Amino acid sequence: MKVRLYFDGCKYDRADEYQIEKEINDTFIELSRIPNVGENITLFLGDYWFEGKVSAVYTYYCEPDNPHRQKWSWGEGYSIFIKDIEVYQKYDGEDE
């Protein structure tokens, strides 16, 4: 299932919160099921290993061939907001 991710805040104040938000927001992933609100989620995105909690789930539907929407939004999709994000690891080199 097509899922769009949204950032809903870090667990602790972080100097790099803007970079984390940039890494997560509007990222599309494929999941075999939609997580429930309150469920923990682990994400490996770019150079980050994130842990967080699903704070909201939204369902959307766009009819195929709708001229007012972009093709990626056609059909069924889901958005999840993730809060209490912690960065478990930031990978800096290719050797890791």
CA distance 57 to 4: 10
Report pLDDT for 76.
84
Q: Which pLDDT does position 16 carry in this prediction?
A: 80
Residue 70: what pLDDT? Answer: 82
- The sheet carrying 2-7 orders its strands as 27-30, 2-7, 75-90, 48-62, 40-45
- pLDDT tens digits, the chain, 96 residues: what are they? 889 999 998 888 888 888 889 999 989 999 999 999 999 999 999 888 999 999 999 998 889 898 998 887 788 889 999 999 998 888 886 654
